[in-house]
Amino acid sequence: MNSFRSRSSSTTLICGALLCTVLATNARAGVVIESTVKDSRLGGSEAMLMEIDGDRLRVDPPDQDKDEVRTSMIFDGSRNALTILDHREKTAIEMDQAMVEGMMVRLVEAKKQLQAQLAEMPPEQRKMMEQMMEQRGAGAMLSGAAPKPRPPLTLKPSGETRQVGGRECAVSTLQRANEKVGEACIASFSALGISREDIAALSEMADFQKHIAEQFRGSGMPDVSDELELFRNLKGLPLQTIRREANGTETRSDLVKIEKVEIPASRFEIPAGYEKREMPKS
């Protein structure tokens, strides 16, 4: 589970960048989106590439080395499967809904074992463990109660417009329970020269992420499903998003380029010579 959690941090960034970009076969053009992602904790900005063709999506996320792409994520909506490529190790790990169900079974068993171990701990040690789990967002692992769902994200139009990457977009406030958590600047599909059908894989990815979030809510894993759910119903794409956390950190994503081009089918396949591995079971 720890190995999965470390990969999930990259997935968090990936899904946060989907907000600002949102985001081939030989017969038709796909959509290629280039953007930059800046995290105030790290300084500087990093590039992200997203390629979409029908129900397939590939993301080369930020947090890469300057001269090489370290990891890639490929989603295949026809199989509801997510593949994570490690280009250094030349490995591929695939996760589908059946695997998610199996992971959930193991998580329930781990929860029972943890609760049994806590019951045997001295009070002070148990309290320290409980505080640590709460800080990591895994408090639900300590009790039998289902975690309380977060208030949903909402968009409130501000009436303002701005230019992002040479394109005009309408600014909206991102809110959760009436608290401002960021901004999104949205351009219409027609202004971008694409249609909702061109990014169909994004909606399918949102459904997949939502299923995972429901299964693992309260386990400490990042949950960005409501962000994808909110933005997939728009009549356009966010060209810029700014997210602000309670601790003062800020993540900003800006669209740099969007175009319709033919994308080689190989971009959505596991490269030759890569070893397929199973998701770690612990």
**And the tokens for 73?**
């994520």
Q: Are 187 and 236 in contact (CB under 8 A)?
A: yes
- pLDDT at residue 112 greater than cutoff 60: yes
- pLDDT at residue 4 greater than cutoff 50: no
Per the model's pLDDT, the better-predicted residue between 122 and 274 turns out to be 274
Residue 63: CA count within 13 A, CB half-sphere: 15
- The dihedral built from the CA positions of residue 119, 124, 129 and 133, taken in this order, carries a sign that is positive
Strand boundaries in 43-133, DSSP class E: 46-53, 56-60, 71-76, 81-86, 91-96
Chain mean pLDDT for the chain: 79
CA distances for 111 relative to 142, 150, 157, angstroms: 7, 21, 42
- pLDDT at residue 23 greater than cutoff 50: no
For residue 148, the enclosing domain spans 2-277
Rounded mean pLDDT of 123-127?
81
Residue 85 lies in a domain: yes
- State the CB neighbour count (10 A cutoff) for residue 238: 25
Residue 168 lies in a domain: yes
Residue 89: CA count within 13 A, CB half-sphere: 11
- pLDDT at residue 103 greater than cutoff 80: no
Q: What is the DSSP letter of 65?
A: B
Amino acid present at 65: D
- pLDDT at residue 90 greater than cutoff 60: yes
- pLDDT at residue 178 greater than cutoff 70: yes
Q: Give the per-residue pLDDT at 145.
A: 53
Residue 243 lies in a domain: yes
Q: Give the per-residue pLDDT at 124.
A: 84
- Edge-to-edge strand list for the sheet holding 30-39: 153-164, 167-176, 179-188, 236-244, 250-261, 30-39, 46-53, 56-60, 71-76, 81-86, 91-96, 275-277
* Percent of all residues in the chain with a pLDDT value above 90, rounded to a whole number: 42
Q: Give the per-residue pLDDT at 278.
A: 78
Residue 59 lies in a domain: yes
Distance CA 93, CA 149 (A): 29
The domain that contains 205 carries what CATH number?
2.50.20.10
Residue 282 lies in a domain: no
- pLDDT at residue 73 greater than cutoff 50: yes
Q: pLDDT-derived band of residue 172, with 50, 70 and 90 as boundaries?
A: very high
Distance CA 203, CA 219 (A): 24
Q: Is 123 exposed, middle or buried (0-12, 13-18, 19+ CB in 10 A)?
A: exposed
Per the model's pLDDT, the better-predicted residue between 153 and 156 turns out to be 156
Residue 178 lies in a domain: yes
**And the tokens for 12?**
């968090």
Q: Tell me the pLDDT tens digit for each residue of 267-280.
A: 999 999 999 987 66
Rounded mean pLDDT of 206-214?
75
Q: How many domains does the chain fold into? A: 1
- pLDDT at residue 102 greater than cutoff 60: yes
Q: Which of 53, 54, 63 is nearest to 14 (CA)?
A: 63
Residue 202 lies in a domain: yes
Q: Give the per-residue pLDDT at 173.
A: 95
- pLDDT at residue 47 greater than cutoff 50: yes
Residue 45 lies in a domain: yes
Comparing 22-26, 153-157, 179-183, 215-219, which segment has the lowest mean pLDDT?
Answer: 22-26
Q: Give the per-residue pLDDT at 131.
A: 74
